[in-house]
Amino acid sequence: MEKELLRSYKAKKITLSGFYVNAGLTFFKLFAGIYGKSNAMLADGIHSLSDFFTDLVVLIGFKFTERPEDECHNYGHDKFETLSTIIVSVFLVIASLSILRSGIQNLICIISGDIFPRPGWIALIAAAISILGKELLYRYTINVGQKINSSAVIANAWHHRSDVFTSIGTFIGIGGSIILGAKWTILDPLASIFVSVLIFKVAINIFSPAINELLESSLSRKECEQIIAVIASCEGAKDYHNLRTRRIGSKVAIEVHILVDDNLSVTTAHDTVTDIEKDLKNVFGETSIITIHIEPFTVGVISH
């Protein structure tokens, strides 16, 4: 339980750091977009505004995740982390579609002959600061997320990285409009459209594994092969069947029937599956949920 609380503390700490950085960047980018007359920077600022909500979602999710098992949640509350990951990806999709819509509308207006003012230098400076700040925040967050094996924190890190993509596109669009002249203001909405596609791709990459986990998908083939290898290495285990696996947040759940000689004592058979359980936890972590059912071994009856 102490490890889970420490993990939750680290996740909340890095998320709060991102929350404060996002607060400063959001207000600065919205101001720069309005004052600097840049639609791309306004879209970038709106995207950063969505980070407020995703940070809150992650914080609330971990508030539930750190709770111990209870009568209603026998396997703990780790699925709240998975749910948080899905919500983060949905926010990313909404942000990308909003930016895409704005970019297309402005592009149509420019093609139709409407004159848009060139963005100001403050918008370009805001884009440069955003690139640097969000890249540093991404690297810090992804490092913590990988260390504590948190899909929600990793998803939030990619949300920060999507801001980097957004700001790079914004920087190019605004810079081109400023340097090349009024005829090239079209670069501003083109940049926002390009960025929206990148954000959408990131969202789908985050959403796909999270929804599979929520729908109780099995572990990967490689992970199942690791389980089988552990069972095969145990001298007392003659065979296995009914192997079932799933992921519960950062935990792995494994259920399997192990076959042993029918002349073994209960104590010896129990020691055999205890060894298997220890070996599996060495591979998948101490918080893994291992359920092993013992059966007598009968030649020619096994079906994996």
Q: What are phi and psi of 239, to 5 degrees?
A: -170, -175
- Distance from chain centroid for Cα 151: 4
> Higher pLDDT residue, 301 or 246?
246
Q: How many residues does the chain have?
A: 304
pLDDT digit string, tens, across residues 216-259 = 778 888 888 889 898 888 888 888 888 988 887 767 888 999 88
pTM: 0.61
- Whether the predicted pLDDT of 121 surpasses 80: yes
- Whether the predicted pLDDT of 57 surpasses 80: no
pLDDT digit string, tens, across residues 17-39 = 878 888 888 888 888 888 887 77
pLDDT digit string, tens, across residues 139-196 = 988 998 888 777 778 877 887 887 787 788 778 777 877 787 666 777 767 777 877 7
**Structural domains of the chain, ranges and CATH numbers in brackets:** 2-214 (1.20.1510.10), 221-296 (3.30.70.1350)
Sign of CA dihedral 288, 294, 297, 302: negative
Q: Residue 203 is encoded by which pair of tokens?
A: 């969202």
Rg (CA), the chain: 26
Q: CB neighbours of 24 closer than 8 A, spacing ≥ 6?
A: none
Residue 68 has a pLDDT of 65
What's the rounded Cα separation, in Å, for the pair 297 and 301?
A: 8
pLDDT digit string, tens, across residues 75-99 = 666 677 777 778 878 877 887 887 7
Residue type, position 162, single letter:
S
For the chain, percent of residues with pLDDT exceeding 90: 2
Residue 132 has a pLDDT of 92
Stated as kind and residue range, the H or E segment containing 295 is: strand 289-296
Q: Which of the 8 DSSP states describes residue 117? A: P
Residue 77 has a pLDDT of 65
